[in-house]
Structure 1
Amino acid sequence: MPKLKNNLPKNYLINLANKLSEINQFETFPNPSVGAVGIDKNNLIHLGVTGKHGSPHAEFALLKNKKINFINELYTSLEPCCHIGKNPSCSNLIIKKKVKKIFSSSIDLDERVKEKTNRLLKKKNISLKYTKQPSKPSILHNYCNLNQKPYVVAKIASSNDFYSKHKFKRLFTSKSALKFAHLLRYQSDSILVGKNTINHDNPSLNCRLNGIEKKIAIFIINKNLFFNKKIFLNNNLKGAYVFHSEKNKTKIKKVGKFFKLIYFDLNQPVNDLLKVVYQLGYKKLLIEGGANTLSNFLKSKSINELYHVKNKLNFNKNGLLSIKKIVKDNKLPLNQVLNLEQDLILNYKSKYVHWNY
């Protein structure tokens, strides 16, 4: 990262750390994406970001740079970790490097960190102050930790007259809308679909954006473990998680050779299912599961954002599976409308997606 002479106010430096946190923000799951700014004894600025796949942590990457002189002040978008997992403890390294002042834009609600970092650094006479200006990645990270479930985004496409399928066309939205759908996948670490979507479409459910390779976990809701034979030839679906309530041991053994099965009473609240997804380490879930799946999650108030990709053409008699009632009954407030070639993208967003100190 470049060296800069520091004559900047603290507010600018903490905002810089926040902006740095957005560089790899969709490629560090399950770790939060963090930005770090260090001021050395010569008053020069040094920068660090969380690496792809979550390693190394931003503070660790900055402080481990052998070319950097003694860091006196450290600015981070999320308070440093104090535990040892796949990555070493950033707090231990901060103590070793004799950093004296830390300014963080956000506390960390992860139970392994919450209040523990502050106590540890305080014992070593290291000042840690919070500016309460959380970055976007920190808000997502803390939302998940606070609620013990992933942030949920849903997407569904329809014609102008609200049909989600066409008698003769499998894909009916524009190329730009298709790229937008893959962008949503890139911004997520997991996808959930229902049985009908899998069996009717046999989708790949991967992220197809030029220059980007990203593995996304797949979750399928299939109560009775019924899959068309062609599904077992789709290697993109191999190893996907399947929520089911089937008790036939023979069927379970057969299907379990291809999928990771999770027995789950599907009469339980949707939020209980989301907690299982979270416990498996996933923090941003994209629902692409069709009308029935979308309706169930909306009714349970489990969706944080909904994208309705609305084609400008009417299907009339060629239309199948109307979602008009689902869209009209949607209680999420309209947040934004994007005009994209032959499609409108309507973004509905919950107002309760935030957290307080």
Structure 2
Amino acid sequence: MEYCLSLAEKGWPNVSPNPCVGALIVHNDQIVKEGWHQSFGSAHAERHAINSLNDNERKLLPESTLYVSLEPCNHHGKTPPCTELIIESGIRRIVVGYSDPNPLMCGRSLQRLRDAGIEVIGPLFDDFTTYPKGEIFMTGITRQRPYIILKWAQSMDNYLSVKEHCTKITNIETDVLVHKWRAESNAILIGYKTLITDQPQLTTRYYTGKNPIRYVLKDHREINISYEGFRFLLHENLVHELTNMYTMNNIGILLVEGGAYTLKKFIDIGFWDECRVITNKNMYIQNGVPAPNIQGILADEYTLGNNHICIIRPPE
């Protein structure tokens, strides 16, 4: 199962907002085939593994065991139910790592397999927060919105920039890291003033990966402008817009990069799941745009050159 879970992570971040899933077909303690969910809308891990079998390998299925990191799906979505494929394949035994917290499954899939005469072992683990990227998937299921990551860079004296000017705070190592964060996100959001002042590209040019969808949060009083590749949202409709991001646009992870007013908006309404703060240890601005004040739990910290990165989680 440990190897099965490692296979699941190979699909990250391309599967978002779906969960990562890995699957193994084992016969006489030998792995016959492995599979994983590779991208959102593509074949699930079980289907990937089963459909990869050749004719001789398929003959082994009645005597094989299917290991899967997460309870198989039992509903029609982007792909047909995996439970029906498993039943039709002739597999007689399945070992499941975690139950799917999605109410559409949540044990129902396992019962469907048992009713079909398949031996079901598991779920082996109870705490879904230990599942690969489980907290991200759970946020979508339970809160019907993306997993929201706030990110900003600040000087040692807690300023985002000199007033009315774009101020370079991060070094090249951290720039690469930030572009990695972008590649791991489905969408990125900034405020209207940040768009006008900084005119950022918000791409992954320093890291190999897909560019996120780009959103701008604006006030209804701010003029409508045309920026190619940007989508505009209204402050007044923020909660509704975030729900639509998840339910209509399949945005599982949203990276919020500022500016100060936009970051404060998310903090004030409690809509954040993680905060990543980059501090330049050698820079003092003294008078500028203050960085947001956020209360939380320090989950991790590390240093890249003169940049110190803190990962903060909401208070329990």
Report the TM range for the smaller structure's normalisation: 0.7 to 0.9
Say if 1:199 and 1:227, in contact at 8 Å, map to a contact too. Answer: no
- Counterpart-to-counterpart distance in 2, 1:112 and 1:96: 21
Distance 1:54 1:18, change over 3 A: farther
- Counterpart-to-counterpart distance in 2, 1:186 and 1:122: 40
Say if 2:166 and 2:198, in contact at 8 Å, map to a contact too. Answer: no
* Residue matched to 1:15: 2
Say if 1:36 and 1:76, in contact at 8 Å, map to a contact too. Answer: yes
Deviation at 1:306, TM superposition (A): 0.6
- Counterpart-to-counterpart distance in 1, 2:229 and 2:178: 17
- Counterpart-to-counterpart distance in 2, 1:142 and 1:203: 31
* Residue matched to 2:115: 123
* Structure 2: stretches of 5+ with no match in the other structure: none
Deviation at 1:297, TM superposition (A): 1.4
Deviation at 1:43, TM superposition (A): 3.5
Deviation at 1:122, TM superposition (A): 2.1
Q: Does 1:343 align with 2:311?
A: no
Alignment deviations for residues 54-80 of structure 1 (CA, whole Å, 9 cap, x no partner): 412111110112323433211112111
SS of 2:19's partner is: coil
Deviation at 1:333, TM superposition (A): 0.9
* Residue matched to 1:193: 190
* Residue matched to 2:34: 47
Distance 1:220 1:316, change over 3 A: closer
Distance 1:227 1:198, change over 3 A: farther
- Counterpart-to-counterpart distance in 2, 1:148 and 1:62: 30
- Counterpart-to-counterpart distance in 2, 1:192 and 1:95: 44
* Residue matched to 1:4: none
Alignment deviations for residues 285-331 of structure 1 (CA, whole Å, 9 cap, x no partner): 111121111112112222111111001123345x42012xx33xx22
* Residue matched to 1:243: 233
- Given candidates 279, 288, 312, the residue that maps to 1:310 is 279
- Counterpart-to-counterpart distance in 1, 2:267 and 2:135: 22
- Counterpart-to-counterpart distance in 1, 2:71 and 2:202: 35
Alignment deviations for residues 323-354 of structure 1 (CA, whole Å, 9 cap, x no partner): 2xx33xx22111111111111011112365xx
Say if 2:187 and 2:214, in contact at 8 Å, map to a contact too. Answer: yes
Say if 2:295 and 2:315, in contact at 8 Å, map to a contact too. Answer: no
Distance 1:211 1:243, change over 3 A: closer
- Counterpart-to-counterpart distance in 1, 2:18 and 2:189: 21
Q: Does 1:145 align with 2:144?
A: no
Say if 1:28 and 1:53, in contact at 8 Å, map to a contact too. Answer: yes
User: Counterpart amino acid of 1:334?
Assistant: L
SS of 1:337's partner is: strand
Deviation at 1:143, TM superposition (A): 3.1
Q: Does 1:265 align with 2:252?
A: no
Distance 1:217 1:210, change over 3 A: closer
* Residue matched to 2:259: 290
- Counterpart-to-counterpart distance in 2, 1:66 and 1:164: 55
User: Counterpart amino acid of 2:74?
Assistant: C
User: Counterpart amino acid of 1:310?
Assistant: T
Deviation at 1:228, TM superposition (A): 7.7
> How big is the alpha-carbon RMSD for the aligned residues of Structure 1 and Structure 2?
2.3
**How many residue pairs align between the two structures?**
304
User: Counterpart amino acid of 1:345?
Assistant: I
- Counterpart-to-counterpart distance in 1, 2:212 and 2:75: 27
Say if 2:301 and 2:310, in contact at 8 Å, map to a contact too. Answer: yes
- Counterpart-to-counterpart distance in 2, 1:228 and 1:119: 53
* Residue matched to 2:176: 179
Q: Does 1:301 align with 2:291?
A: no
Q: Does 1:223 align with 2:210?
A: no
- Equivalent pairs: percent with the same residue? 25
- Counterpart-to-counterpart distance in 1, 2:244 and 2:221: 19
* Residue matched to 1:100: 92
SS of 1:32's partner is: coil
Q: Does 1:278 align with 2:246?
A: yes
* Structure 1: stretches of 5+ with no match in the other structure: 1-13, 245-263, 353-357
Deviation at 1:193, TM superposition (A): 1.6
- Given candidates 81, 90, 97, the residue that maps to 1:89 is 81
Distance 1:150 1:313, change over 3 A: same
Deviation at 1:23, TM superposition (A): 1.0
Deviation at 1:272, TM superposition (A): 4.4
- Counterpart-to-counterpart distance in 2, 1:112 and 1:89: 11
- TM (norm. structure 1) is 0.78
- Given candidates 298, 302, 313, the residue that maps to 1:334 is 298
Q: Which runs of structure 1 show a deviation greater than 6 angstroms over 4 or more consecutive aligned residues?
A: none
Alignment deviations for residues 135-171 of structure 1 (CA, whole Å, 9 cap, x no partner): 2234422332122222111101111111111366542
User: Counterpart amino acid of 2:243?
Assistant: K
